[in-house]
Structure 1
Amino acid sequence: MTARRLSADPACAASPASSASCASCASPKTLFKRSSLSAASLAACFALPLVPASVLAQQGAGGAATSTASTASAARSFNIPPGPLDLALTRLARSAGVLLSFDPKLVEGRQSAGLSGTYTVDAGLRSLLGDTSLKAVAQADGSFVVERATADEAAAMPSGTLPAVRIKARNGLAASETTDRYGAPASSTATRLALSPRETPQSVTVVTRARMDDFGLLNANDVLASTTGVSVDVVETDRTYFNARGFDISNFQIDGVGMPFTNGDQLGDIDTALYDRVEVLRGANGLLSSTGNPAATVNYVRKRPTADFQASFGLTIGSWDKQRAEGDVSGPLNESGTLRGRAIVMAQRNESFMDNYALSKNLVAGLLEASLAPRTTLTLGVSRQANRPEGTAWGGLPLNYADGSPTDYPRSTAAAPRWSHWDNTDTTGFVELAHALGNGWNAKAMASYRKLGADGRLFSISGALPDRATGTGTESWLSTQVTDETQALVDVSASGPFELAGRRHDAVVGINTARVHNEASYQRGAGNGTAITAPDGWGSYPEPAWDGGTGSADFVNRRESIYAMTRLNLADPWKLLLGLNHTRMRSEGLGFRAVPRVYKEAETVPYVGTVVDVDAHYSLYASYTRIVNPQTQVDERQSLLGPITGSNVEAGVKGEWLNGELNGSVAVFRTKQDNLAEYAGFDTDGGFSYYRRIDATSTGFELEMAGRLSPDWDLTAGYTQLRLEDAAGADARTFIPRRTARLSARYRVPALPQLKLGATLRWQSDIHRINGTQTAPDGADIVARQPGYAVLGLMARYDFSDRLSAHLLINNVTDRKYLASLYWDQSLHGAGRNGQLTLNWKL
């Protein structure tokens, strides 16, 4: 038989520390021309430079068998992502430094669920081979040979049995909730394939469950504020914009499927209790999203039912009367384990550092997962989150006085009276059917229905900027806001390997359809335009009669897409990703003031990416895609601005160390958007915001590292620097920081392993904004500025036992005062020093 043998053949003894190469191996130029499977000798020669030098050193004369056997019997940590079985076996052999032989035909077309946890080599091989009817046979010299199991041996093999240290999610990616790590072995947001960070030709950050728990990242704002390259603009108490690489993020998905924000912003607080991890793909996601800004895609990945029973409960108390309770129970619902369920509940109530503001929210979710057949899994789920804020600020505080000087109100200054509120409820149901087609191919169909409801009676600070001496100039703006939005989505896809020119490649094909129906209405309050003295009059303004003018909007957005992607294995070190997405988008209906919301677009979006492995630890990559995004914003005449067109080019180097436990990247990027909407002002007569068109280009670089530096130390760190210019070369969107840094680190104290200490740091450079509606008395521009600042957080966690732990967080340790955003001409302050204590109990 022709076997693939991963060995330390002395004839090919080039180590990573040496620049020497085996004379019998093809040169890089020759290697990249090969289209057939490599012979055993070539595979061994190519594989050997990727084996750690310490392993090669053990293979000296007279000591090879002894050292290999010793290596095979030792338990070690593995972090092998799901994917082709032959690659998984290769990674295990290289990581463990053992000799492994197998016939490529035995594993051809087979997939592996990956391997994450601590195993001996023998146990790891058994787990990887799983239900394949293959076995790894230990040899006298300590090596292993993969062979076909006999019928009796195959029947005796436990189907799907995995060690308790590893939990596998049924979508093919490992769940992060039990790994207690900051790094993730793989993600699928970019391509629908489970690729490691090094294999993905774009910048990807995964915020794991461990990081969310360690630093109290309880909502989407907290998660994204800690993510490399992402800025969070909290423009109001209950409304937020997000941006990456200089542009707004509008693509938010759940389990890889979703629609862009209808109005470009997030209303309310998205709690993270429901999610296992959050994947953030920076740059355009033209292959799978097709619409949305080419800034980033945020994918919330749900927790799923588990095969074994588990339960956790948490109680939190904190500053400003914060009280929170969580419960999460999961496990089998029948004796055979073919039916599994999970229930998640959360309730929270807190006041705020801002006078008058408070928030009550609750979440309930249930998921059922049924193994209908050995290859077929059905998942059903429903969730409902309700937010009930009080003292909602519809806008922020003025940033300047009428003379142009900056205001400096206390953090506690109320931007709205207590009666102002904007209740919102998010209810989502989904059904998912996954089926293994055979030969490594898998199909999945998912349907989702989401209903977003909002009902508010709101107060906003309007009028002119306040006089510094008297506080006069501002006025009231009062309105109800009622919104009902439904989103219906269906996605059907298939993925798997195929053979071409003697090599195995991967492909993804799918279709997606979505319909969003938005109905909204308002009624103005009596007394709009009433003069108010700043700042005391804002928080004490009485609730008016709601009998003013009315308006409504009713429109439907539709999108149909077909997409296909292939990951071509041109050579062992070289992968080429090619994809196309053809999308039809259309809208019909009327916006406020009977403005037509009508457009019809069709676009074919290409995707090209490539990854070239340089050696055992480093890869070069590059990618290109473009995107089109219809806009809902209007100009001063209330005419739609037309769609954004954009593109994203990215290239860089990615690294992988410590058996994949630690990943790093250096990326350069260029993101371009034409016809981008930029806020220009608010029409108080018509009661609407209007925008202007700009063309903007962002160029810059990013550095990121994430994962486990040692058994006691986990880290994520990133730095982004960019230049953002309009078509004339002038600075654009100056409210976005040009430099940002993010750090989250956790250390387990070796002398007291029950204790974990951690820190988080968020830094940004200075930003500014020119007031778009008013100038100083001398005609000069009025400019609001926020100098650069850093926010430091500290964490301590103590495990009293395997079941009970206490967790202390202190945020903004230095009590740094800063503005939360300059996205608009008004803003709120960020929270001052605060803390919280959590008790967690696990069964």
Structure 2
Amino acid sequence: MRFAMLRYRFATPPRSTLLTGLLFSGLAHAEPPAPETTLPAVKVTAKAAKDAKEAKEKEAPSEDTGAYVVARSASGTGLDLPLRETPQPVTVLTHAQLEDFRLSSAIDALDAVTGVQVERVETDRTYFTARGFDITNFQFDGVGAGFANGNLLGDLDLAPFDRIEVVRGANGLVSATGYPSATVNFIRKRPTRELQASATLGAGSWDRGRADVDISGSLGWDGAVRGRFVGAGETGHSYLDRLASRKHLLYGVVEADLGAATTFTAGFTFQRKDTDGGLWGALPLLHTDGTPTHYARSTSTAADWVRWDNRETTLFAELAHDLGGGWSVKGTWTRRRQESDDKLFYVYGTPDPVTGLGLYAYPSLYAGTTTQDLAEGSLRGTFSLFGRTHQVVVGAQYAHGLLEDQSHYGRGIGTPLPDLAVWDGRYPEPVFDASVAGSRVVDARGTGFAAARLNLAEGVNLLLGAAHTSQSTAGLAYGVDRMRKDSATTPYAGLTWDVAPAHTLYASCAEIFNPQSEMDRSQRRLDPVKGRSVEAGLKSAWLGQRLQTSVSLFRATQRNLAESDGYVGIQAVYKGVDTTAKGLELEASGDLTRDLQVHAGATFLSLEDGDGRDARTYVPRRLAQAGATWRLPFLPKAKTGLAVTWKSDMRREEGPGMTIRQRAYALVNLMARYDFTSALSASVNVENVTNEKYLTSLYWSQAFYGAPTNVRVSVSWKY
């Protein structure tokens, strides 16, 4: 009864509780002053120039630079540091990259990040993995308000964001848990003092259309109060039969200087995505004899009355005060509310290789609301010891989450369906009164954290920190008691050593602790995952800091990680297994010349269970992403680009003689833009140029095919 797994997963968070991903603050802070000492005048001047340069780099959003690289980030440690001094690999998708390749969705953008695998299990539900494990830590401006169920429902539009920063590896300093995959930090656009505005109109294959508007500037009081408004709308059909969607987004933020040292910021985001004909579950991938199914790329399992509607509202406020002497304090509050209202149709069973019969209907009416509240306070600054300046941050966070949902199952569960190859989606909409089930689960999490960056010697820095987290869960989810309390302290240590003016060696070690929601065969919730993550590497800067490269070796061991263990009745159950991941990552990003910008990365991964066998084989063992844009020397107003993603072969074992396979494949995207003036430009983006046919994911035992070749055209204006 494979359909039960989809129903259970829809209602119950996998590998996380409601607050998975509620993380520490990591926003930029004041640059530490130079230590008091007597230096020759020329050195004092140089130091002042360096401090001024670093302060400028820290404050400038990537939308102002047009570059493919940023100088600094706080996403990895909670301390504002140059990327070379963060003892983990950090990938930054800048505003220029997002704009060049029209990456308006988080799903598409994260597909371009080194080592990240986007698991498109359905049209409106997506998981993400890195280094072989689920990404459960998500941040907004360095504050964790992650996806409540460990997955992204609907979509996350990128119109409100300046850039995305991804820190790979265990990241216990800036997250409530130290899970060894990655932390994704979405950096919002902020108001500007000077008036600026932009608008974009686009159209593409399958009647797709999109419009964006962005206005920012002073609201008065000589720029002491500033505001920004962003709006976006998108609509269109799809290559999948019966699929169409409409998306609307509003983002507003106001920033006010309450004094020379105090700034208050408040804002909201509202996004709504309504989908007709969305997939709940996907296509069966094997016949009854174990041979693979081969459907047309457009084949859908959705009935013609299906809808999947998601709404999300986020409110946030921040108060920051400069205490002077290199110290600052900050408080933040975030509320995130997600609502779903869906009529869904799942298809289960295994088709006959000759007739295509053997599939059955499972209709359901679903409604759910998730509310997350997060409050955080932090103090950070610098201090002098043994003639050197050091940095420190301390803080606390409290998070509360409530999930309430209900499923009304339709009459006719188990009704035989025609062969999907000829089915047109016609199925009478049933009365949804066959049975009712639901959830009401409350999560609470408190975290205290501290970190210090100790300047041991010239070019040698030691980073030490720890977080203590206590979490409680209470409530029922589809008849299962979720009562659980967990607590743990996760230490972190990292070392960076500038072995040459442009080259830095680093090493780091972090403990792993992650509570789990899965139940075993005895209806007992699995104990938290525990383990350790270590890595070492070399980071380098070239061409006057314009190009950055990194080489990383990593190893992560986890104990009691939840893996599927079949079913008890209609409920999916899990078992805890030991898992070891190790591998190598390579990355380069930046501007080779004024006219040539690049981003490239590769991951080589090994995943084994406690007995040395291949584990999580649905994760590709080798990944490569590469992109480049260049302005033509003979036509300087034109910009062209290429982006390639390559994945090695994957497989999923469904039993003896039942193996799902996806061969290695590459996706190639092209872009071209022409700047008619400094304000007006037009662009063309072509995706999947080679028209590759591939499965979007083997994360589940069902999947659908990715999009064929498609084209988008847009016109942009900027003031």
Tell me the TM-score normalised to structure 2 length. 0.93
Alpha carbons 1:260, 1:292 under 8 Å: kept: no
Q: Distance in 2 between matches of 1:628 and 1:712?
A: 45
Counterparts in 2 of 1:47-196, with a 5 A limit?
83-84=31-32, 86=34, 100-102=42-44, 112=51, 114=53, 172-196=58-82
Q: Distance in 2 between matches of 1:261 and 1:371?
A: 32
Does residue 696 of structure 2 align to residue 820 of structure 1?
yes
Alpha carbons 2:31, 2:326 under 8 Å: kept: no
Alpha carbons 1:475, 1:530 under 8 Å: kept: yes
Which residue is 2:329 aligned to? 443
Offset, 1:689: 3.7
Which residue is 1:698 aligned to? 581
SS of the residue corresponding to residue 288 of structure 2 reads coil
- Structure 1 residue corresponding to 2:679, chosen from 772, 779, 803: 803
Which residue is 1:416 aligned to? 302
Compared with structure 1, are the counterparts of its residues 101 and 190 closer, same or farther at alpha carbon in structure 2 (3 Å cutoff)?
same
SS of the residue corresponding to residue 211 of structure 1 reads helix
Q: Distance in 2 between matches of 1:735 and 1:543?
A: 35
Q: Distance in 1 between matches of 2:201 and 2:52?
A: 35
Deviations 1:472-507 (A, max 9, x none): 111111112211111000111121110011111111
Q: Distance in 1 between matches of 2:472 and 2:342?
A: 29
Which residue is 1:783 aligned to? 659
Deviations 1:344-392 (A, max 9, x none): 1011001111001111110001100001111111000011000101111
Partner AA of 2:373 in structure 1: A
Does residue 250 of structure 2 align to residue 364 of structure 1?
yes
SS of the residue corresponding to residue 633 of structure 1 reads coil
Deviations 1:129-165 (A, max 9, x none): xxxxxxxxxxxxxxxxxxxxxxxxxxxxxxxxxxxxx
Q: Distance in 2 between matches of 1:83 and 1:195?
A: 10
Alpha carbons 2:29, 2:380 under 8 Å: kept: no
Which residue is 1:249 aligned to? 135
Does residue 383 of structure 2 align to residue 498 of structure 1?
yes
Q: Distance in 1 between matches of 2:564 and 2:201?
A: 41
SS of the residue corresponding to residue 635 of structure 2 reads coil
Deviations 1:551-604 (A, max 9, x none): 1111111111111111000001100000011111111111112x1111111111
Aligned-residue RMSD, C-alpha: 2.0
SS of the residue corresponding to residue 481 of structure 2 reads coil
Alpha carbons 1:725, 1:731 under 8 Å: kept: yes
Q: Which runs of 5+ in 2 are unaligned?
A: 1-27
Compared with structure 1, are the counterparts of its residues 626 and 206 closer, same or farther at alpha carbon in structure 2 (3 Å cutoff)?
same
Counterparts in 2 of 1:250-399, with a 5 A limit?
250-291=136-177, 293-399=179-285
Which residue is 2:541 aligned to? 656
Q: Distance in 1 between matches of 2:208 and 2:390?
A: 52
Alpha carbons 1:82, 1:186 under 8 Å: kept: no
Offset, 1:112: 4.2
Alpha carbons 2:29, 2:328 under 8 Å: kept: no
Q: Distance in 1 between matches of 2:634 and 2:222?
A: 43
Offset, 1:638: 4.3
Alpha carbons 1:383, 1:429 under 8 Å: kept: yes
Offset, 1:442: 1.6
- Structure 2 residue corresponding to 1:646, chosen from 531, 549, 553: 531
- Structure 2 residue corresponding to 1:514, chosen from 399, 417, 420: 399
SS of the residue corresponding to residue 539 of structure 1 reads coil
SS of the residue corresponding to residue 108 of structure 2 reads helix
Q: Distance in 1 between matches of 2:644 and 2:498?
A: 33
Partner AA of 2:43 in structure 1: S
Aligned residues: 687
Deviations 1:757-810 (A, max 9, x none): 101000010000011xxx5xxxx3200100000000000011100110001100
Q: Distance in 1 between matches of 2:31 and 2:255?
A: 23
Deviations 1:5-55 (A, max 9, x none): xxxxxxxxxxxxxxxxxxxxxxxxxxxxxxxxxxxxxxxxxxxxxxxxxxx
| Of 743-752 and 698-707, the range deviating more from structure 2 | 743-752
Compared with structure 1, are the counterparts of its residues 245 and 299 closer, same or farther at alpha carbon in structure 2 (3 Å cutoff)?
same
- Structure 1 residue corresponding to 2:648, chosen from 750, 760, 765: 765
Offset, 1:691: 3.0
Q: Distance in 2 between matches of 1:82 and 1:658?
A: 27
Partner AA of 2:384 in structure 1: E
Q: Distance in 2 between matches of 1:338 and 1:440?
A: 23
Compared with structure 1, are the counterparts of its residues 519 and 680 closer, same or farther at alpha carbon in structure 2 (3 Å cutoff)?
same
Q: Distance in 2 between matches of 1:673 and 1:249?
A: 15
Which residue is 1:750 aligned to? 633
SS of the residue corresponding to residue 84 of structure 2 reads helix
Deviations 1:274-316 (A, max 9, x none): 1000110101111121226321110111100011110000001
Alpha carbons 1:84, 1:111 under 8 Å: kept: no
Compared with structure 1, are the counterparts of its residues 664 and 81 closer, same or farther at alpha carbon in structure 2 (3 Å cutoff)?
farther
Q: Whose strand proportion is higher, 1 or 2? A: 2
- Structure with bigger gyration radius: 1
Which residue is 1:207 aligned to? 93
Which residue is 1:590 aligned to? 476
Which residue is 2:670 aligned to? 794
| Of 252-261 and 574-583, the range deviating more from structure 2 | 252-261
Which residue is 1:94 aligned to? none
Partner AA of 1:472 in structure 2: L
SS of the residue corresponding to residue 602 of structure 1 reads strand
Alpha carbons 1:656, 1:664 under 8 Å: kept: yes
Offset, 1:748: 1.2
Deviations 1:637-688 (A, max 9, x none): 54322322232111011101122111100000012222212245567x63x4
SS of the residue corresponding to residue 109 of structure 2 reads helix
Which residue is 2:617 aligned to? 734
Which residue is 1:551 aligned to? 437
Q: Distance in 2 between matches of 1:681 and 1:709?
A: 51
| Of 609-618 and 191-200, the range deviating more from structure 2 | 191-200
Alpha carbons 1:82, 1:173 under 8 Å: kept: no
Does residue 462 of structure 2 align to residue 576 of structure 1?
yes
- Structure 2 residue corresponding to 1:630, chosen from 515, 530, 535: 515
Alpha carbons 1:462, 1:474 under 8 Å: kept: yes
| Of 540-549 and 829-838, the range deviating more from structure 2 | 540-549
Q: Distance in 1 between matches of 2:405 and 2:516?
A: 17
Alpha carbons 2:283, 2:703 under 8 Å: kept: yes
Alpha carbons 2:438, 2:478 under 8 Å: kept: yes
Q: Distance in 2 between matches of 1:810 and 1:767?
A: 26
Offset, 1:538: 6.9
Alpha carbons 2:178, 2:511 under 8 Å: kept: no
Deviations 1:409-451 (A, max 9, x none): 1110012123212211110001101111101112111001110
Q: Distance in 2 between matches of 1:421 and 1:631?
A: 30
Offset, 1:259: 4.2
Percentage of identical aligned residues: 44
- Structure 1 residue corresponding to 2:358, chosen from 462, 467, 473: 473
SS of the residue corresponding to residue 212 of structure 1 reads helix
SS of the residue corresponding to residue 100 of structure 1 reads helix
Q: Distance in 1 between matches of 2:143 and 2:231?
A: 23
Which residue is 1:48 aligned to? none
Compare relative contact order (CA 8 Å, sep 6+) and give the higher one, 1 or 2.
Answer: 2
Partner AA of 2:692 in structure 1: R
SS of the residue corresponding to residue 724 of structure 1 reads strand
Alpha carbons 1:396, 1:415 under 8 Å: kept: yes
Which residue is 1:607 aligned to? 492
Q: Which runs of 5+ in 1 are unaligned?
A: 1-79, 88-97, 116-127, 129-165
Alpha carbons 2:33, 2:326 under 8 Å: kept: no
Compared with structure 1, are the counterparts of its residues 504 and 415 closer, same or farther at alpha carbon in structure 2 (3 Å cutoff)?
same
Alpha carbons 1:532, 1:538 under 8 Å: kept: no
Q: Distance in 2 between matches of 1:626 and 1:476?
A: 45
Partner AA of 1:571 in structure 2: A
Offset, 1:753: 1.4
